[in-house]
Structure 1
Amino acid sequence: MELLKQKIREVGVIISDDIIKLDAILNHAVDPVLTTAMGKEFARLYREENVTKVMTIESSGIPIAFATAQELNVPMVFARRKKTLNTEHTEMYSERVPSFTKGFVTDIMVSRECLAEQDRILLIDDFIANGDAARGLIRIIRRSGAELVGVGIAVEKSFQAGGRTIRESGIRVESLAKISSLKGGIIEFE
């Protein structure tokens, strides 16, 4: 998606050969025009899959998942990272997942009320590096009995294994921008 690549070139801050900061468009602020365009593109890519719900993980995936769900005219569900007073009284699916950029392990939780066996789930997220968060959500979806129809990723760091390993497991993964390298402070796309 050229618009996304253009924005990454404009606002991306390379922290290291492994980390790019995209706070201005994905992780701290939201670009509504770009987010809407990403939602439309994911909806176009997965429209024939008869998606019944779009799923993501809080917090940076929510705007893109919402835009996708709105375009597909289906509900959106997001996995929580923190327990609340309400979640203490709700049956939850839960997985422990490490975060590459945050540097720690966290629990992700989805209410059992939000997923049904007849659901056809499209998983949407902002980034994929090692794929741990996506794999955690995939395990939750499978435990619920719902069907995962695919994964949509805004930015894939293809020099890391996440997207590749999920594809190798037979799951369709569509990434809107694939960064092949950040070496030497230069953003290179596939």
Structure 2
Amino acid sequence: MDMLKQRILQEGIVLSNEVLKLDAILNHQVDPELIMEMGKEFAKRFENEGITKVVTIESSGISVAFATAYVLKVPLVFARRKKTLTTDNDSYCERVPSFTKGIVTDIMVSKQFLTPQDRVLIIDDIIANGDAARGIIRIIERSGAELAGFGIAVEKSFQQGAQTIRDLGIRVDSLVRIGRLQPGRIELEE
């Protein structure tokens, strides 16, 4: 997706050989036009998959997942990371390490929002090691829903996350693949 590639090259900030800061376009500020184009692209890629729900993990994946769900005309469900007073106690829950936060968190989805009748598309912003992705996959499996695939805005292909999902036999579509990060340089894959 050329529009996203250009924005990453122009506005992405390399913090280390493993960390890319995309706050200007995905993780702190969002460009609605870019996000809607990303949603349209994912919807096009998965339009014949019979998707009934789009699922993501709080918080940076929500905007892209919303755009995708909007175009597909299906509900968006996001896994919460924090329990609140209104959190449904009857939830699927998984503990997952967070690469960027450097902590282990719980992710949870109320059982009322995922059923065996659902065919799910997971959408997320960035995949690095894939721990959160594998956690949400376990939740979907426990719910009995069918997983159609995984849409990733930015795949850091030099880390193993997306490949571990592919190795499970799950379809992974990435809009942009980053092959390497160096100070001041982002190398994209074709």
Sort the TM-score into its range (normalised by shorter chain): over 0.9
Counterpart for residue 112 of structure 1: 111
CA distance in 1, matches of 2:89, 2:73: 27
CA distance in 1, matches of 2:164, 2:77: 24
**Matched length:** 189
SS at match of 1:36: helix
CA distance in 2, matches of 1:184, 1:97: 29
Contact 1:178 1:189 in 2 (8 A): yes
Q: Are 1:131 and 2:134 counterparts? A: no
**Structure 2 stretches lacking a partner, 5+ long:** none
CA distance in 2, matches of 1:137, 1:107: 10
CA distance in 2, matches of 1:165, 1:135: 9
How much does 1:167 deviate? 0.5
CA distance in 1, matches of 2:144, 2:183: 45
Counterpart for residue 21 of structure 1: 21
CA distance in 1, matches of 2:34, 2:13: 18
How much does 1:90 deviate? 3.0
Letter in 1 for 2:34: L
Contact 2:14 2:183 in 1 (8 A): no
Q: Percent of counterpart pairs with the same letter?
A: 66
More helix by share: 1
CA distance in 2, matches of 1:153, 1:98: 18
CA distance in 2, matches of 1:145, 1:131: 21
Contact 1:39 1:68 in 2 (8 A): yes
SS at match of 1:152: strand
Aligned-residue CA RMSD (Å) = 0.7
Contact 2:125 2:153 in 1 (8 A): yes
Contact 1:16 1:185 in 2 (8 A): no
CA distance in 2, matches of 1:165, 1:90: 31
CA distance in 1, matches of 2:33, 2:187: 24
Counterpart for residue 30 of structure 1: 30
Contact 2:53 2:74 in 1 (8 A): yes
Counterpart for residue 62 of structure 2: 62
How much does 1:184 deviate? 4.0
Letter in 1 for 2:91: M
Letter in 1 for 2:5: K
CA distance in 2, matches of 1:31, 1:167: 29
SS at match of 1:65: helix
Counterpart for residue 155 of structure 1: 154
CA distance in 2, matches of 1:137, 1:96: 10
SS at match of 1:38: helix
Counterpart for residue 50 of structure 1: 50
Could you state the TM-score of these two structures normalised by the residue count of structure 2? 0.98
How much does 1:168 deviate? 1.1
Q: Which runs of 4+ in 1 moved over 4 A?
A: none
Could you state the TM-score of these two structures normalised by the residue count of structure 1? 0.98
